[in-house]
A and B are shown apart, each in its own frame.
Chain A
Amino acid sequence: MTRVAVIGIGQSLRGDDAAGLEAVRRWREKFPETAGKPEVQIEACELPGLSLIETLSNVDAAILVDAVQSSAKPGTVHRLSENELASFPSSSKSAHGWGVAETLRLRSQLTGTKVGIRIIGIEAEQMELGAGLSEAVENAIPILCEVIEEEIHALL
């Protein structure tokens, strides 16, 4: 049995940053059968720091759903693998604290094992404190739910 974690990442009070949390919440409502399977673990994560390592220690694969900023149109759904995330730069000048990419790298470095990671990103428009989801992102949430469902079936 493949154990899969579905992890929504974001800040619920920060505009489109909440998209990952919201998408996982709605996917769970829309696909209760998949979400209710014993091998499926659902997590909401406001600070995707090192605790991701703990979450990932109990599963064989994980789907991370998070807001993304690149140069694409707001609402664009990205499907990514682990090594497509911006890597930890060798100079500290643009490095963050502990982001998703660094945490995943640290994890595989320490354990020597790879968990199958799929990342579903949604292009954010704004991350204003107190703002809700922007229209483009809101409209893309149903598509995100379908993508989560599809990815999870590919893993199970």
Chain B
Amino acid sequence: MKNIEVPALARVEGEGGLYIGLENGKAVEIRLDIYEPPRFFEGFLKDRFLQEVPDITARICGICPVAYQMSAAYALEHALGVKISPQARALRRLMYCGEYIESHALHIYMLQAPDLLGKESALELAAESPEVVKNALRLKKIGNELLRIIGGRSVHPVNVCVGGFYSWPDEKALKALLPDLEWGLNAALDTVKLATSLHYPYLEIDYEFVALHHPDEYGVIEGGVLSSTGRKLSIVEYETGYIEEHVRHSNALHSHTVDNNTYLVGPLARLNLNHEQLLPKAKQALKDYKIQLPLKNPYKSLIARAIELVHFYEEAIQLVKEYKPTGPAHVELKLKAGEGSGATEAPRGLLYHRYKIDANGMIQFAKITPPTAQNLPRIEADLFALTPRIINMPEAEATRTAEHLVRSYDPCISCATHFLKLKVEEK
């Protein structure tokens, strides 16, 4: 077989290329140009007031603006020694539920399921099974609604600030979402059923899994950085365990552990490390569908997303029921010079920010490490591991299996442009 080349990957957020160079039936070179590190933003943030950071970083990813806002807010709160109120914390978790719901529903049904069902795209899936796609869009829309009510209606959510929220969202509007959320919880359980009935390409990898871990809840905000090797670090210590390095064939920075290992962040890592903290219905679904952990097949991250979809619907219902805004929505900030780190679990995996600020709250230094930067060396290593299995397949199938592997990671290509492509026709 010739080399495998995919100039533009479909169904990853943005546009990227994949190249697998073959020699005597073995992969000798793998290039994955899918990712642009947020260096521009790190520079752009310099000399801006800290309260602008959540809004600016929200633009790094159109799919997960909340993750960027949250990691930024926690890092800056850490720099100022601020602790947000328990109510604001609960609301942040609820907002994150909205983002997980939206992002996972999109990825499961519209981006990855077509691969597993042998469809070219979700359009083809919609033609054959319109109800499946309609339900998928409804699942996703409920996440959007949650974000809109909490985050405010704008290009991206604008209500998150350093210290909490600018204002409390409307209690009635949130409670009115409960019937939809209940519907979503059932539809999420059906999603687990679907996810476990699909046939996945075989690939088992001995990953080092890394995720935030919190003893009392499914790790999303706060807690420590846990590795499946047993390494436990606080968020402040993150950079002592995980190192970013420049690689030659792209702009991208690649991460590895301090022991020079590749590692995996994202849904598989979270589920494998944190399943004890899942809420009851999600835990029950693991049992009912006999899902054996740890899941080590990257394609099966779809199953992990489905379980998380159940968890976050379940948690959203709880948090909406308990929501009762009282007192100020944010803590008043006392500015001082300092440095702070923050990490939260974006739907795609751990997202780390570190900032230095001066006495006026102006940003002096910013460092942002997105999940895709950490997973890139892992994706490439997985492709090396996959190549012997696909080498004897017909070319189209081999290409598709490789593409599918990349898609199963749900890589985020930061802030790609979205201009329209025109069909130019002579008239």
CB distance from B426 to the nearest CB of A (A): 12
Known: A46-B418, A69-B420, A106-B133. 9 other contacts (CB 8 A): A9-B418, A46-B155, A68-B420, A86-B422, A90-B120, A96-B14, A101-B421, A109-B127, A130-B40
In this complex, what residue of B is CB-closest to A94?
A: B8
A71-B424, A85-B422, A86-B420 known; A130-B13 Cβ under 8 A: no
Q: Is the CB of B110 within 8 A of A68?
A: no
Provide the bound-state CA to CA distance between A84 and B6, in Å: 26
A93-B10, A98-B110 known; A106-B122 Cβ under 8 A: yes
Q: Is the CB of A88 within 8 A of B419?
A: no
CB distance from A133 to the nearest CB of B (A): 13
Q: Is B59 an interface residue (CB 8 A)?
A: yes
**Chain A interface (Cβ within 8 Å of chain B)?**
9-14, 17, 21, 44-51, 53-54, 66-71, 78, 80, 84-88, 90, 92-102, 105-106, 109-110, 119, 121, 124, 127, 129-130
Q: Is the CB of A95 within 8 A of B8?
A: yes
CB distance from B72 to the nearest CB of A (A): 16
Q: Which residues of B contact A70 (CB under 8 A)?
A: 421-422, 424
Q: Is B144 an interface residue (CB 8 A)?
A: yes
Q: Which residues of A contact B14 (CB under 8 A)?
A: 96-97
Q: Is the CB of A130 within 8 A of B44?
A: yes
Q: Could you say which of A47, A78, A87 has the most chain B C-beta atoms within 10 Å of its C-beta?
A: A47
Q: Could you say which of A9, A51, A87 has the most chain B C-beta atoms within 10 Å of its C-beta?
A: A51
Partner of B420, one of A11, A14, A101: A101
CB distance from B28 to the nearest CB of A (A): 23
**Chain B interface (Cβ within 8 Å of chain A)?**
6-8, 10-15, 40, 44, 59, 62-63, 106, 110-111, 120-123, 126-127, 130, 133-134, 137, 140-141, 144, 154-156, 400, 403, 415, 417-424
Q: Is the CB of A53 within 8 A of B137?
A: yes
| Number of A-B pairs, beta carbon distance below 8 Å | 136
Q: Is the CB of A69 within 8 A of B111?
A: no
Partner of B421, one of A51, A78, A86: A86
A50-B140, A93-B8 known; A66-B419 Cβ under 8 A: yes
Instruction: Write 19 A-B pairs (CB below 8 A) sorted by A numbering.
Output: A9-B418, A44-B154, A46-B155, A47-B63, A48-B418, A53-B137, A54-B141, A67-B419, A68-B422, A69-B421, A85-B422, A96-B14, A98-B110, A100-B420, A106-B126, A124-B419, A127-B419, A129-B40, A130-B40
